[in-house]
Amino acid sequence: MDDFYADVLDHVGRTPREFGSVHLHVEPVIRNPLGQATAVVWLQAAFEPLATTPSSVLVMGRQKQGSAHRTLGQFPLPPLTGGRVVRWRLPLELPPEFDEVHFQVESSLHPNAGRVRPAWKLFDTLEIPKESDMKAVSSEVSMGIDLGESLLNTVMSGGLSVTAYMKIGPQVSPGSLAVKRHAAATLPTAFIAAVVDGPLEPLSDLQCELVWEPGMALPAASAAPSWSTESTPAMAAHVLKTLRTCYACGFEGPREEYERATMCPRCDATWM
């Protein structure tokens, strides 16, 4: 719609997720050898007016392959009124056992709120099975009479003609063709960011930078992919051959299943 604010996060290559009244994107969290980390969070409002109850984000350190978790902090969101888009930097202390960070937004809608930016949600996606997945209900010989062809032969020959047919092999029952709901239809309740170990200058306090507001020129567009198939020191060669990784949220999926995917099934991040 023409009266929507610009979708700045998508414009700069930070595909957002919608939580309550806000759109949010989190870059991979960088952690130094001392366990100091910085989260870079992009925010814009999806609805106005904003609720009178302050919105906040709960930050949790978690393991991909384990149950360990720890609260890293809960922070009130910066002002997002008037279409503002901000880049927010959060200083964190992130122990080495955690390899992903969950950002759970607590943001309610104002009773009179109206949408001011396009929705970023996945609708239910139904998937029809491939022919190879169809259930064969019989492998016996099938015989019958083709009445259509028999009538044609009768007219052409001037007499009665019956055409028989025989089929050998599995027969597929139409009732066995079931559709299934694609895994992308279910999304987590938090934005999940991967953890990347590397050099980092730690922050002493929260930092909030204005990226855009109405009247400003849009930032330079970016087509940088959020998915990567490049080798990283932490990934073995044999894993690279079998898995695809989204570095926006840390999702990993079988390459043969996601080879042609254009978006991460967990966080909607665009893969170019």
- The DSSP H or E segment spanning 48 is strand 47-50
**Can you give the pTM of this predicted structure?**
0.64
Separation of CA 6 from chain center: 21
State how far the Cα of 271 lies from the Cα of 264, in Å rounded to an integer.
Answer: 7
Over residues 2-39, the pLDDT tens digits come to 589 999 999 999 989 999 999 999 999 999 999 999 99
Q: HEC string of 145-179?
A: ECHHHHHHHHHHHCCCCCCEEEECCCEECHHHCCC
- Token pair 């299934």 is at which residue? 180
What are the DSSP E strand ranges found in 94-215?
100-106, 109-115, 126-127, 136-138, 142-145, 164-167, 171-172, 180-181, 191-197, 207-212
- Token pair 């997002």 is at which residue? 80
Torsion of CA 47, 53, 56, 58, to 10 degrees: -120
Q: How far is CA 227 from CA 2, 61, 65, 223, in A?
A: 31, 22, 20, 11
Over residues 180-200, the pLDDT tens digits come to 555 544 678 899 999 999 999
Q: How far is CA 68 from CA 60, 61, 105, in A?
A: 10, 8, 21
pLDDT of the chain, 272 residues: tens digit per residue: 458 999 999 999 998 999 999 999 999 999 999 999 999 999 999 999 999 999 999 999 999 988 999 999 999 999 999 999 999 999 999 999 999 999 999 999 999 999 999 988 654 455 555 555 555 444 444 455 454 444 444 444 444 444 445 555 555 444 445 555 555 446 788 999 999 999 999 999 999 999 999 999 999 886 544 444 333 444 444 334 577 877 667 777 777 777 767 777 777 776 64
Burial label, 196 (beta-carbon count in 10 A; 0-12, 13-18, 19+)? middle
Burial label, 55 (beta-carbon count in 10 A; 0-12, 13-18, 19+)? buried
Angle made by CA atoms 18, 114, 270, in degrees to the nearest 5: 25
